Amino acid sequence: MGAAVVQAHAGFLDAHQLLAELAHQQALLAIGHAEHRQKGQQREQQRAQAPEKPVQAFGLSNGGGEQQLGNPEHQAEATKGLHDRGGQQGGIQHLQTLSDKKTLERNRQASTPRSKGHHNASVERQAGHDLHLRLPQGHWQALERHCLQSGESHSAVLRKALADYLDLEHHTLWQLSTSTAVVEGVFGGSLQVKDLADHGDFGIGTFEQLDGEGILLDGICWQARADGSVCRAPADEGIPFWVATHFEAQQRFSLSGVDSIEALGAQLDPKRPGANLFVAIRIRGLFNEVLMRSVSKVPKGVGLLEASQDQTMVRRNNIRGTLAGFWSPEHTTSLNIPGYHFHFLADDHSSGGHVLDVQAAELQVELDLQSNLRLALPQTKEFLEADLSGDIAATLHTAESKPKD
């Protein structure tokens, strides 16, 4: 079954209205483009006699050159309207997402005419796309008010609105199920590995009935089994609990002299902005030692604490790899595993698992601060009927920590 989504993030613009308006504009341009194609051979003959004019308004540009949307005559008229009437016509405000005329001029200069017979020649451009659209007056006024209050640019707000609508927001933590459900043994898969691609390229989790530890790196999901071996997780493998994000490093630094998991945490602590935000953490390097565990697949009705008693411990020395994990605030104990939580994946994919201890001379660290949270709650019978009202803090700490000697 699917999962219901609970969303917590800052609201700044009705992204659904914005996308609806953009879709409307694209439809109008598509009509113009259909008219344009009917000219067919006549346009080809004209191209053979003279170079094309550069793209003007309503253009998408990328590293592979210019893409025209709609009838060029309509585009020229739209651009003329922008210059002659200050971007305003009939209560509609024209907005350049790159904000200024200098940017528009650079875009024109970059879209140089293509030579005869080379209509698909690429034009060198900066990475990304330049999007031009029209906004209703109400949208424009709301956008202006927000930008004045927040200090954000028009481009930044629109990028966030689009990313929110398309579920591509960076610095957003997506989580399936809760730590309370995991402690209580709700291990049935409510989504599948293939669904992770919609929510991130980095993360950690587990599989149906605790069948190993999961590591999502660079968009690929790996499954560390109870014997310490690693395989690429099948796309249809069930997932009961997962945390993922589109990783975009905001801080990069080195650590040295890490002689325990506690020492690693102590060196990371000052780099975090505070105790109340999530942080995605990626750590690479040569590890002198990594102590990991992975649990075996358990039958229904078995809770996390009981399952952890039958875990397999694996120790690897002098191994290169990546720690993938998160720091979660104490106030989210019922939702996530508080503090630092890491899974390890060897560079050669020979081993991996839930990290209990580490030692390393030097490590490279990347942090991605997570200011938004999206929580997907399973709609399975198992989850809906589970008693999730108990205090799980002590049980969770025992199950996730290194066993005492």
**pLDDT tens-digit readout, 268-309:** 999 999 999 999 999 999 999 999 998 889 998 888 888 887
In a domain, 4, yes or no: no
More confident residue, 127 or 171: 171
Residue 391 domain-assigned? Answer: yes
Buried b (16+ CB within 10 A) or exposed e, 156-185: ebbbbbbbbbeeebbbbbbbbbbbbbbbbb
159 and 184 fall within a common domain: no
Same domain, yes or no: 123 and 205: no
131, part of any domain: yes
Q: How many domains does the chain have?
A: 2
Task: Determine, yes or no, domain membership for 76.
Answer: yes
Do 269 and 139 reside in the same domain of the chain? no
**In this structure, is residue 183 part of a structural domain?**
yes
Q: pLDDT grade, residue 29 (50/70/90)?
A: low
Question: 166, 181, 216 — which closes off a domain?
Answer: 166
Q: Does residue 84 surpass a pLDDT of 60?
A: no
Asked if the structure places residue 94 within a domain, the reply is yes
Domain boundary among 113, 138, 166: 166
306 & 237 share domain: yes
Residue 103 in any domain: the answer is yes
Domain at 366, CATH number:
3.30.1330.80
Do both 76 and 208 map to the same domain? no
Same domain, 346 and 229: yes
**Listed residues 166, 196, 214: the one ending a domain:** 166
pLDDT at 280: 97
Do residue 341 and residue 229 come from a single domain? yes
Q: Quick one: 101 and 82 in the same domain?
A: yes
Q: Are residues 115 and 192 in the same domain?
A: no
> Residue 279's closest CA among 291, 290, 270, 288?
270
Q: What is the pLDDT of residue 86?
A: 38
Asked whether residue 206 falls in the same domain as residue 331, the answer is yes
Question: For residue range 90-125, what is the model confidence (pLDDT) as tens digits?
Answer: 333 333 333 344 444 444 454 444 443 443 333 233
CA gap 359, 307 in Å, rounded: 27
Same domain, 120 and 251: no
Decide: 264 and 255 in contact? Cβ < 8 Å: yes
User: Which residues span the domain enclosing 219?
Assistant: 173-400
How far is Cα 171 from Cα 156, in angstroms, rounded to an integer? Answer: 14
| 253, part of any domain | yes
